[in-house]
Amino acid sequence: MSTITADQVKRLREVTGAGIMDCKKALEEAQGDFEQAIDLLRKKGHKMAAARQDRDAKEGAVFAAVGGGEGHLILLACETDFVAKNEEFRAFGQKIAQAALQNHVTDENALPSLSIDGVPLADKLADLTAKIGEKMEVSRWARITGEYVTAYIHLGGRIGVLVALSGTAGLSPEQLHEVGQNIAMQVAALRPVSVDRNSVPADLLAREKEIAREQARAEGKPENLLEKIAVGKLEKFFKESVLLEQEYFKDSQKSIGQYLKSVSPSLGVVGFVRLQVGGK
């Protein structure tokens, strides 16, 4: 067996990021063949990644990429906040978002085979998991399109928002950026459930009505008035939970809908997406 030097171990560790003892054992098993040792470590890395799949990845960060009226959000999850702040982790997350945009991904099932630096995302995740020592996964992905799409990342990546605008003709890039960022910050802070009342999910609307009825019943209101009371309480729900009806966070005298019309009568919001680490 060839003698493995400290320099060989050091070089392999620099290239792979694996531990000193793992590098030494791989070189010994490969009888000093550097490329074979890398392959052995990669294979071991895949095993390590697989062994960590029962671990919870509750931390992480949200990354965004936008361009050409299209936007993508990626929530790259890991186990600890320490790793979520790691520069390599964050660079990797941004690469995934950018690759999703460049390849115009429309199906979550296409993500594992997405090419990152010429390597499928699934393999890159396994390699990075082995190198850093924590389970990592793309836990959520979202895509949105529109005439103009903007992204906003809040709290260092804890929250990410995409907003798509319509009716943008005549507005400058600077105006669109300002409006898009304002709407995205509104979404990040106040968590609307839909753009307008007509797009509130039917099951959520039914639940809110039932809660309102039960509250009124508990207060001793007559049965024949419960429906009317519930409808009245829904109005409050709309003002608090529907984006266009929410109070604009920068001007309490305006709703978001009114703010948009003050910029341009045709300006509107097509949709939005909000992802949050550890939440929905």
Encoding tokens for residue 170? Answer: 């005549």
Residue type, 24: K
Task: Assign domain 59-145 to its CATH architecture.
Answer: 2-Layer Sandwich (3.30)
Tens of pLDDT, residues 226-274:
888 888 889 999 999 999 999 999 999 999 999 999 999 999 999 999 9
Are 97 and 162 in contact by the 8 Å Cβ rule? The answer is no
pTM of the entire predicted model: 0.78
- C-alpha span between 163 and 226 (Å, rounded): 37
Tens of pLDDT, residues 77-102:
999 999 999 999 999 999 999 999 99
What pLDDT, on the 0 to 100 scale, is given for residue 169?
Answer: 96
> Looking at domain 6-51, which of 3.40.309.10, 1.20.58.740, 1.10.8.10, 3.40.50.1980 is its CATH number?
1.10.8.10
Residues of the chain with CATH 3.30.479.20: 59-145
Encoding tokens for residue 197? Answer: 């009342």
Local confidence band at 53 (pLDDT 50, 70, 90 cut-offs): low
CB burial of 56-70 (b: ≥16 within 10 Å; e: otherwise) equals ebebbbbbbbbeeeb
